Amino acid sequence: MGVRSKFYGDGAYARSTDPDTSHAAARSIDAPELEKKIYAVILQYGRQGCIADQVFDQVTSHKPFSISPRFRPLMRKGYIWDTGERRTGEAGRQQRVMAATKFFSPEEMSRSITRDRRRRMKCTCKKVREFYEGNDVDGYWADHPKIEEWREEVANNDTRQGFWEWLCAAEGIIEI
């Protein structure tokens, strides 16, 4: 199998009720490439994060209505997260602050996760498990590269999480 972009998987979409022009526009978007650009901008802001207006100002190759739908897939994939902070945008309205997950520990991110978000996180962990099991050569999770690290934490009583929940927390995979 060829190497896939880490941003592979989510294309641009149009609702079935949208006009044909919306469907044509969705087909014309290179979503993984646009996500790379958006992620690069958010990375520049480090731990302080940024709001959508700041991303719009720097990704000048696309209009805001093409950029804003890419935030959710980046969150779902675990690359960015909503810090819970809000800042005022150019229109005077509050916007969420998004930051790259690589700058935060799972503990820091979990503090702002509500009960509903935890339920969705379990759903995301299930998707991660299904992905690994579906793409693993042997079809079994025991060969996962992080399994020994998890076993060590279990043996030391450092975690009581199951492997997949632990992996999602360790990798910062959360869905917001």
Domain boundary among 104, 134, 153: 104
Neighbouring C-beta atoms of residue 117, cutoff 10 Å? 17
Q: Are residues 78 and 131 in the same domain?
A: no
Whether 40 shows a pLDDT value over 90: the answer reads: yes
- Note every long-range contact of 73-78, with CB atoms under 8 Å and residues 24 or more positions apart, other chains counting: 73/9, 73/10, 73/31, 73/35, 74/35, 74/38, 74/39, 74/42, 75/174, 75/175, 75/176, 76/10, 76/124, 76/175, 76/176, 77/7, 77/9, 77/10, 77/173, 78/124, 78/171, 78/172, 78/173, 78/174
Q: Are residues 95 and 120 in the same domain?
A: no
Q: What is the CATH number of the domain that holds 2?
A: 1.10.10.10
Tokens of 8: 């592979």
- What is the count of structural domains for the chain? 2
Q: Are residues 1 and 19 in the same domain?
A: yes
pLDDT in tens, 132-168: 555 544 444 556 677 788 888 888 877 777 777 777 7
Please give the Cα distance from 54 to 93 (Å, whole number). 14
Q: Are residues 95 and 142 in the same domain?
A: no
Q: Are residues 99 and 140 in the same domain?
A: no
Q: Are residues 122 and 73 in the same domain?
A: no
pLDDT in tens, 76-121: 888 898 888 899 999 999 999 999 988 887 777 766 555 445 555 5
- One-letter amino acid at 150 equals W
Its domain, for residue 80, covers 1-104
Whether 61 shows a pLDDT value over 50: the answer reads: yes
Q: What pTM, to 2 d.p., does this model score? A: 0.58
Q: Are residues 78 and 138 in the same domain?
A: no
- One-letter amino acid at 13 equals Y
Q: Can you give the three-state secondary structure of 126-152, one letter per residue?
A: HHHHHHHHHHCCCCCHHHCCCHHHHHH
Domain boundary among 56, 82, 104: 104
Tokens of 150: 């998890």
Q: Are residues 5 and 91 in the same domain?
A: yes
- Give me the mean pLDDT over the 25-37 stretch: 84
Domain boundary among 86, 104, 122: 104
Sign of CA dihedral 96, 31, 35, 134: positive
